[in-house]
Amino acid sequence: MIKDLANFNKIIAHLKQIRFLRKMLMKRTKYPILVIIIITVLLISNGLFQNFSFAISPNECKVLKIYDGDTMTLQCQSAKVKVRLYCIDTPEMRQKPWGTQARDYLRSITPQSVRLVKIDKDRYGRIVGEVYSGDINLNLAQVEAGKAAVYNTYCKKQEYKEAENKAKEAKKGIWSQSGLHQKPWIWRRRSRN
């Protein structure tokens, strides 16, 4: 309630500023550039621009390729980036049928355009981040569906662990049968040796 009241007061303040600025613009002024600069500074400092959605936001990306259940290539503005999904690890493609199922599920829930929230870079130079379709966190959706395990070494968010526990209890996806597909990091280590 208090937060709604604060937002309401902020909107009223913005409307008052807009009325004031409109009056200023209607008057002939000697310094039109100065008026424009003042308006821009006021709008930015009050966070008014944050409420507008632009056609392509800086973190809006086109999906180019989904390799497996936790890696994809995106076109974000002019840059092509390889993204490793934060907090999760899915079976490798050679871990049949689990790897294929994880990749196919991710493909089925991923639209052509996604929002990327960058968190880090890994040792291979890939962006580590969370990928969203609207408000849906695709990383978390992989865990909830039982297609991915939580990569505890790198995951700091409790919601992933909670989702994994629910998937385990329901015996979804990789949790329906025991094996190394539940711990892809161990499978990779053993397959290198």
Phi, psi angles (nearest 5°) of residue 154: -115, -5
Q: What is the pTM of this model?
A: 0.69
pLDDT of residue 53: 36
Taking all residues of the chain, what is their mean pLDDT, rounded to a whole number?
A: 82
Kindly tell me if the per-residue pLDDT of 28 is higher than 80.
Answer: no
Among 14-18, 65-69, 173-177, name the one with the lowest average pLDDT: 14-18
Question: Pick from 136, 139, 156: which is nearest to 147 by CA?
Answer: 139
Say whether the peptide bond before residue 97 is cis (omega within 30 degrees of 0). yes
Kindly tell me if the per-residue pLDDT of 132 is higher than 90.
Answer: yes
Residue 48 buriedness (CB in 10 A; 0-12 / 13-18 / 19+): middle
pLDDT of residue 193: 74
pLDDT of residue 186: 81
pLDDT of residue 192: 82
Active-site positions?
Answer: 84, 92, 126
Same structural domain, 132 and 174: yes
In percent, how much of the chain has pLDDT > 90? 55
Same structural domain, 65 and 28: no
- CATH code for the domain of 96: 2.40.50.90
> Could you tell me if 171 and 165 are in contact, meaning their C-beta atoms sit under 8 angstroms apart?
no
- Domain holding 22, by residue range, is 2-51
Confidence bin at 51 (pLDDT 50/70/90):
very low
Same structural domain, 30 and 82: no
> How far from 45 is each of 14, 42, 73, 129, CA to CA, in Å?
11, 5, 35, 29
Tokens of 53: 């959605």
Same structural domain, 65 and 120: yes
pLDDT one-digit tens code per residue, 69-87: 999 999 998 889 999 999 9
